[in-house]
Amino acid sequence: MRTLSRYLAREIYISTLLVFAALLMLFAFFDLIHEMGDIGKGNYRLMNAVGFVLLSLPGHVYELFPIAALIGTLFALSQLNSHSELTVMRVSGLPLWRIATALLQAGLAFAVLTFVFGEFIAPSAERFASQMRLKATKGVVAQEFRSGLWVKDASSFVNVEEVLPDATLKGVKIYDFDETYRLRTISYARQGVHVDENRWRLSDVSQTRFEPGRTVVDRLPEADWNSVLSPEILNVLLVVPEQMSAWNLYFYVQHLRDNKQKTARYEIALWAKLSYPIATLAMLVLALPFASQQLRSGGVSTRIFAGIMLGLSFHLLNRLFAHLGLLNDWPPLFSAIFPTLIFLGMALGMIWWIERR
């Protein structure tokens, strides 16, 4: 059985690697075409676009792990089935569940890699890619901390506590410096609304001016603020939950709870991060009953097409349940893990049905 496990693992690794290479080249090509439209904006050049595409690849690797593992395993097992190797295994008395166990052992490497990419590599690469692209196209340098979003805007540093989905700013602090880097004013606004290009309307403004020998505080119901910030830039700067690491998601959920804010979206993203390696293993098991069927026509190509459809269905079902969980206030664990349980249950049910025939 150990020899068989090593043989299956080798075939699956080779096939999955080839599938990964094809999918990543396809996604990189599409990303590069998308970036071509921004070449020439600011200092954004072709090399910047290529760098952005390369930095985006770890995120694609993480997203594609279950799909690539499914297609790669389906291809490898279909090849074995077409050469009657699976048939010989089963005639020799090896049940499907033993082969499934060997697949799970081989898939542990995929699960570990999925976790490593999702937790350590992809979030850092995505953030660095977005920051690099933004700096080249807009000339804005920004960073997000526990205290909110920090942006360097000309001679000012801006801190925004919260950005609402409609790009409304909550808790805006503006620290303005002169040419010698001396602090001139500190402005605080309860809310900021985007009016037009490079202009915001601040409300409930408190401004502290530091003049020679004294400090002056002004309070204004409204004030206009000229800034390079725009809703488009904020969409780039804000890290979506799906791109955060599980570690950061956990602490951010605790932070939101301490401040009595909604945590559902971030909790769903957290459980999805933790369950994604399990989804990769489920995809390997699902490939077994499909590959072990004897097809009269179509052969390997039919199974590969089925694998692509199953992978896309899994991806879409994950997104659907995440949105439905937010809309219907479902438990975050259920919203994140139920699609994986559906496909795992489908795989186990098909293996049971084939063994019972």
pLDDT tens, residue by residue, 117-154:
999 999 888 878 877 887 787 665 555 556 678 887 77
| CA distances for 239 relative to 86, 242, 254, angstroms | 46, 8, 17
In three-state secondary structure terms, 305 is helix
CA pair distance 16, 65, nearest whole angstrom? 9
Query: Within 10 Å of residue 293's Cβ, how many Cβ atoms?
Result: 13
Supply the mean pLDDT for the chain.
Answer: 86
The pLDDT value recorded for residue 280 is 94
Residue 121 lies inside a defined structural domain of this protein: yes
User: Residue 151: beta bridge partners?
Assistant: 142, 158
- Are 126 and 65 in the same domain? yes
Annotate 128-183 with DSSP letters as a single string: HHHHHHHHHHH--EEEEETTEEEEEETTEEEEEEEE-TTS-EEEEEEEEE-TTS-E
The average pLDDT across 12-19 equals 94
Residue span of the structural domain in which 156 resides: 142-228
The pLDDT value recorded for residue 53 is 95
- Are 132 and 247 in the same domain? yes
Query: Within 10 Å of residue 28's Cβ, how many Cβ atoms?
Result: 16
- Are 147 and 131 in the same domain? no
Residue 234 lies inside a defined structural domain of this protein: no
| Token duo for residue 229 | 């910030």
Q: Return the higher-pLDDT residue of 242 and 99.
A: 99
| Confidence at 18, pLDDT banded by 50, 70, 90 | very high
- Are 164 and 119 in the same domain? no
- Are 131 and 151 in the same domain? no
Helix runs in the chain, H state only: 2-36, 46-82, 85-91, 96-116, 122-138, 231-237, 246-258, 264-292, 299-328, 332-356
Q: Is the pLDDT of residue 113 over 70?
A: yes
The pLDDT value recorded for residue 238 is 61
Last residue of a domain, one of 228, 249, 277: 228
User: Could you give the number of structural domains in the chain?
Assistant: 2
The model's pLDDT over 20-76, given as tens digits with 9 standing for 90+, comes to: 999 999 999 999 999 998 898 888 999 999 999 999 999 999 999 999 999 999 999
**Distant-in-sequence, close-in-space partners of 223: CB < 8 Å, separation ≥ 6:** 187, 189, 201, 202, 205, 207
| CA distances for 269 relative to 246, 251, 253, 273, angstroms | 8, 13, 10, 6
Contact 105, 8 (CB under 8 A): no
The angle, 0 to 180 degrees and rounded to 10, between the axes of the packed helices 299-328 and 264-292 is 160
CA pair distance 92, 183, nearest whole angstrom? 81
- Are 126 and 159 in the same domain? no
- Are 116 and 9 in the same domain? yes
Last residue of a domain, one of 205, 228, 251: 228
| Confidence at 228, pLDDT banded by 50, 70, 90 | confident
Last residue of a domain, one of 176, 206, 228: 228
Q: Is the pLDDT of residue 236 over 60?
A: no
- Are 132 and 169 in the same domain? no
Residue 41 lies inside a defined structural domain of this protein: yes
The pLDDT value recorded for residue 186 is 94
The average pLDDT across 326-341 equals 93
Q: Which residues of 175-198 are buried (b: 16+ CB within 10 A; e: fewer)?
A: bbeeeeeeeebbbebebbebeeee
Whether the full predicted model's pTM is greater than 0.85, yes or no, is no
Amino acid at 158: V
Residue 34 lies inside a defined structural domain of this protein: yes
| Token duo for residue 98 | 């033993």
In three-state secondary structure terms, 189 is strand
The average pLDDT across 212-236 equals 83
The average pLDDT across 152-158 equals 83
Taking Cα atoms as reference points, which of 55, 243, 69, 252 lies closest to residue 146? Answer: 252
DSSP 229: -
Which of these ranges, 85-99, 263-277, 343-357, has the smallest mean pLDDT?
Answer: 85-99
- Are 324 and 340 in the same domain? yes
Tell me the residue length of the chain. Answer: 357
- Are 26 and 105 in the same domain? yes
- CA-based R_g, the chain, Å: 26
Residue 91 lies inside a defined structural domain of this protein: yes
Q: Is the pLDDT of residue 295 over 60?
A: no
Could you tell me what percent of the chain has a pLDDT over 90?
47
Residue 303 lies inside a defined structural domain of this protein: yes
The pLDDT value recorded for residue 138 is 67
The pLDDT value recorded for residue 54 is 95
Helix runs in 293-331, H state only: 299-328
The pLDDT value recorded for residue 140 is 56
| Confidence at 172, pLDDT banded by 50, 70, 90 | very high
- Are 162 and 127 in the same domain? no
The pLDDT value recorded for residue 168 is 80
Residue 236 lies inside a defined structural domain of this protein: no
Residue 235 lies inside a defined structural domain of this protein: no
- Are 316 and 266 in the same domain? yes
